[in-house]
């Protein structure tokens, strides 16, 4: 599939304002209108890896969370369980802090949609609910 076809599938499945820009050989930045709660845009890359396309955040999502949270909070306890649940639900892999989603069977738009959903679920843990902070009933 060509990059133009991939971009068209992204737009058709996710949002018309999605665009792709080359950042080298078989490496593209994917720009979406989706933002983190502080106004930063999601970091999404499309790259070829071992002969197939993947979406990746290159560690940006967890790095962004550690601006306000201790890294240990992401590895243990309730947040870790919630992160694992989000990753599993959207078939995203955690490769030592880099979130990666291999694109199945030319389903580029579906993969981007799932990847964005996973990133938004995970970054939403930066601002926990009362239940997550242990304030229930207080």
Structure confidence by residue, pLDDT tens digits, 42-69: 999 999 999 999 999 999 998 888 887 7
Name the residue with tokens 């999601």: 42
Confidence class for position 128, pLDDT limits 50, 70, 90:
low
- The CATH number for 48's domain is 3.30.1460
Residue 75, in any domain of the structure: yes
Confidence class for position 127, pLDDT limits 50, 70, 90:
low
Structure confidence by residue, pLDDT tens digits, 71-86: 877 787 788 888 999 9
Could you tell me the pTM of the whole model?
A: 0.82
Residue 135, in any domain of the structure: no
Residue 132, in any domain of the structure: no
| Nearest alpha-carbon partner for 55 in 136, 125, 113 | 113
Residue 131, in any domain of the structure: no
What is the domain extent for residue 33? Answer: 3-126
Confidence class for position 5, pLDDT limits 50, 70, 90:
confident
| Nearest alpha-carbon partner for 100 in 47, 27, 41, 51 | 47
The helix (H) or strand (E) run that includes residue 55 is strand 52-56
Name the residue with tokens 């291999």: 102
Residue 26 · residue 131 · CB < 8 Å? no
> What is the average pLDDT value for the chain, to the nearest integer?
85
């Amino acid at each position: 599939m060509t990059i133009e076809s991939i971009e068209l599938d992204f737009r058709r499945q996710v949002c018309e304002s999605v665009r792709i820009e080359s950042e080298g050989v078989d490496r593209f930045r994917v720009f979406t209108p989706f933002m983190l709660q502080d106004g930063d845009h999601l970091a999404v890359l499309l790259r070829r890896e071992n002969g197939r396309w993947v979406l990746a955040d290159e560690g940006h999502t967890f790095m962004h969370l550690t601006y306000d949270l201790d890294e240990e909070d992401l590895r243990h306890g309730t947040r870790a369980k919630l992160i694992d649940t989000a990753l599993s639900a959207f078939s995203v892999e955690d490769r030592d802090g880099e979130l990666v989603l291999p694109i199945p069977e030319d389903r580029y738009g579906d993969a981007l949609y799932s990847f964005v959903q996973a990133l938004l679920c995970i970054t939403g843990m930066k601002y926990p609910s009362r239940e997550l902070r242990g304030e229930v009933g207080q």
